[in-house]
A and B are shown apart, each in its own frame.
Chain A
Amino acid sequence: DGGITQSPKYLFRKEGQNVTLSCEQNLNHDAMYWYRQDPGQGLRLIYYSQIVNDFQKGDIAEGYSVSREKKESFPLTVTSAQKNPTAFYLCASRRQGGYTFGSGTRLTVV
């Protein structure tokens, strides 16, 4: 079955360390997105990519970086510059017809 895989489901990191969240899709979707969700809140856009080797900042890109070297993969790096990285991170992809979301990664920085 096609879908989006985010790994790991839970991630713990020490303050000051960079961490990379994985997002892989086998849907042949061109566009991919990263969203952040804080407790009891909606989703905010971090970065998005429409095609390979191209990506754009979203509303809250500071302290994050991405790459899109392959169509299937859109990893998100949470850097030490992100002041409050503890959150739930959702990856999504899109082709005509709609969006598909991953199951998310819960990142806790201690």
Chain B
Amino acid sequence: AQTVTQSQPEMSVQEAETVTLSCTYDTSESDYYLFWYKQPPSRQMILVIRQEAYKQQNATENRFSVNFQKAAKSFSLKISDSQLGDAAMFLCAYRSVNNAGNMLTFGGGTRLMVKP
């Protein structure tokens, strides 16, 4: 079974600065998808970014970008120009291509605080 680990339970960043959230995963598969979700205090899940393992190019979405290191099984999220609205729980998730259920496996989350 796949596992996803987020080693930083909490992180803080100064407004306008850059922060990187780490995520590692364990899998024997070669093809899969990786996701970062944002969960603000409202608890609504918001997709931040998605990466397909067969694509070497790192995904980018505005101020959010990932550093996908397939050999190291690492999928970190970089948030540039942090804003107060970025304060949230960030969840890393994995989905197997071969998984008939297409379920997501989540890490434990990193709570990001943004200081004004």
Q: Which residues of A contact B (CB under 8 A)?
A: 31, 33, 35, 40-45, 48, 50, 56, 58, 88, 90, 92, 94, 98-99, 101, 103-104
Q: Which residues of B contact A104 (CB under 8 A)?
A: 43-44
Q: Which residues of A contact B105 (CB under 8 A)?
A: 45
Query: How far is B9's CA from A101's CA once the two chains are assembled, in angstroms?
Result: 23
Whether the pair A43, B106 counts as a contact (CB closer than 8 A) is yes
Whether the pair B101, A44 counts as a contact (CB closer than 8 A) is no
Whether the pair A48, B103 counts as a contact (CB closer than 8 A) is yes
Q: Which chain B residue shows the least CB distance to A9? A: B43
Residues of B in contact (CB 8 Å), total 21
Given A40-B109, A41-B109, do A103 and B42 touch, yes or no (CB 8 Å)? yes
Whether the pair A42, B43 counts as a contact (CB closer than 8 A) is no
Checking B42, B43, B100 against A50 with a beta-carbon cut-off of 8 angstroms, the contacting residue is B100
Checking A33, A42, A101 against B44 with a beta-carbon cut-off of 8 angstroms, the contacting residue is A101
Q: Which residues of B contact A35 (CB under 8 A)?
A: 106
Query: How far is B108's CA from A98's CA once the two chains are assembled, in angstroms?
Result: 21
Whether the pair B101, A42 counts as a contact (CB closer than 8 A) is no
Whether the pair A40, B45 counts as a contact (CB closer than 8 A) is no
Checking B50, B102, B107, B108 against A94 with a beta-carbon cut-off of 8 angstroms, the contacting residue is B102
